[in-house]
Amino acid sequence: MQSPKRFGCLNCGKEFEVRSPDDIYTEANRKYKKASYDDMLPMTKECLWCKEKNEIYWYKPNSN
């Protein structure tokens, strides 16, 4: 498994960690990049402090 990635909540700015869902989808990004259906997995992470739902997109390496 990959090391956790750190992001800040879009609402309150508090930092949180997310982990790759598997060894295939290893690149995390907040921005949605147009990709084929099997090249991206969305993940919703709820902030522990303000309960805002933060969307993180996991991509296969080298997918556009």
- Over residues 40-63, the pLDDT tens digits come to 999 999 999 999 999 999 999 875
Q: Is the pLDDT of residue 6 over 60?
A: yes
Please tell me the predicted confidence (pLDDT) of residue 9. 98
Across residues 8-18, what is the average pLDDT? 97
Beta strands in 1-64 (DSSP E): 5-8, 15-18, 27-29, 40-46, 53-59
Beta strands in 3-48 (DSSP E): 5-8, 15-18, 27-29, 40-46
State pTM to two decimals: 0.84
Q: Comparing 36 with 41, which gets the higher pLDDT?
A: 41
Extract the tokens encoding 61: 């390496």
